[in-house]
Amino acid sequence: MQANKEKLEIVLKADQLCVHYDKHPVLWDVSLEVPKNQMVAIIGPNGAGKSTFVKAALNLVEPFSGSINFLEKGCSIAYVPQKESIDWSFPISAFEVVLMGRYGKLGWFKRPRESDKIDAIKMLDIVGMKAFANKQIDQLSGGQKQRLFIARALMQDPDILFLDEPFTGIDMATEKVIIDLLKNLKDKNKTIFIVHHDLRTLKRYFDWLILLNTYLVDFGPIDKVLTKENIEKTFGNSLSLFEEANILSMAHTKGL
């Protein structure tokens, strides 16, 4: 798939990965490698297997065949699922949600220390949510909920972070806050995987690209992989999507 591979440290490797749901193939024969310290976009149409790829990496679904593994031993991993998969009616405050991110290190039967509570407030402050610490989660806006769960993930101090469509249903101002935060994490040698859908922002946000449509279309550095041909293979006869994305991206770069 990828020509002229750079000699980069590989953090994630899939080898002929296949995942079925009720005997229906969702991912088929996916083989790829992703280097460490990248902002990685996972792109494809609805039903392409993007979320399934993430869940397979996290051992939340079992492959039908093949494998997907992290090659960095002892790395810590955090996951921010889609907002729709969370019960927002559960009676819990924003502070308590973030504090839950520390339980993996403490164990469920140990009480959080004062230092853990201080860290939870720090994480809320980092994502601009300190003022909402005592708010019940069902009182938060869509963008606030997304920031909240990123703060919870940061409490785990992850080496690798997965986010499943974090920009769905939020405004551009909140999206900018989140992407700036994630880029800052990447600059601290973290690897970020994001299931994404907006072609217009790919070149501005990401270093690396995985294109899926049940099978693997292509993967690699975004400047090499984001082509008209690959977009057509991924989305069908949708070259206008690519052209529109290029025009809007150029306009944004020029400040138009």
Give the Cβ contact number of residue 232 at 10 Å.
15
Residue 239 lies in a domain: yes
The pLDDT, as a whole number, for residue 104 is 67
Residue 115 lies in a domain: no
The pLDDT, as a whole number, for residue 22 is 83
Contact 80, 162 (CB under 8 A): yes
Six-digit token string for 251: 């306009």
Q: How many domains does the chain have?
A: 1
Q: Where are the alpha helices (DSSP H) in the chain?
A: 50-57, 94-100, 103-106, 114-126, 142-154, 172-186, 202-205, 222-225, 228-235, 239-253
The vertex-70 CA angle with 226 and 161, nearest 5°, equals: 65
Residue 105 lies in a domain: no
Residue 65 lies in a domain: yes
The pLDDT, as a whole number, for residue 72 is 82
The pLDDT, as a whole number, for residue 73 is 82
List the end-to-end C-alpha distance of the chain, in Å, as a whole number.
Answer: 36
Q: What is the largest CA-CA distance in the chain?
A: 56
Residue 70 lies in a domain: yes
The pLDDT, as a whole number, for residue 24 is 87
Query: Backbone phi, then psi, for 90, in 5-degree steps?
Result: -65, 130
The pLDDT, as a whole number, for residue 102 is 84
Instruction: Report the distance separating Cα 224 and Cα 86, nearest Å.
Output: 36
Query: Looking at beta carbons, which pairs linking 235-241 to residues 24 or more positions away fall under 8 Å?
Result: 235/44, 235/45, 236/45, 241/199
Residue 142 lies in a domain: no
Q: What is the pTM of this model?
A: 0.85
Beta strand 10-21 pairing with 24-35? antiparallel
Structural domain harbouring 63:
1-75+162-169+198-256
Q: What is the CATH number of the domain that holds 254?
A: 3.40.50.300
pLDDT per residue of the chain (256 residues) written in tens, 0 to 9: 444 445 789 999 999 999 998 878 899 999 999 999 999 999 999 889 999 999 999 999 999 999 999 988 888 999 998 876 677 778 889 999 999 888 766 555 567 788 889 999 999 998 889 999 999 988 988 888 888 988 999 898 899 999 999 888 788 888 888 899 899 999 999 999 999 988 989 999 999 999 999 999 999 999 999 998 999 899 886 555 555 555 444 444 444 3
Six-digit token string for 36: 């460490």
Backbone region of residue 216 per phi and psi (left: phi > 0; alpha: psi in -120 to 50; beta: other values): beta
CA dist list (Å): 116 to 54, 100, 102, 150: 28, 10, 7, 16
Residue 235 lies in a domain: yes
Facing residues of 13 across strands?
33, 69
Six-digit token string for 132: 């909402």
User: For the purposes of burial, counting CB atoms within 10 Å of the CB of 185, is it exposed (0-12), middle (13-18) or buried (19 or more)?
Assistant: middle
Residue 202 lies in a domain: yes
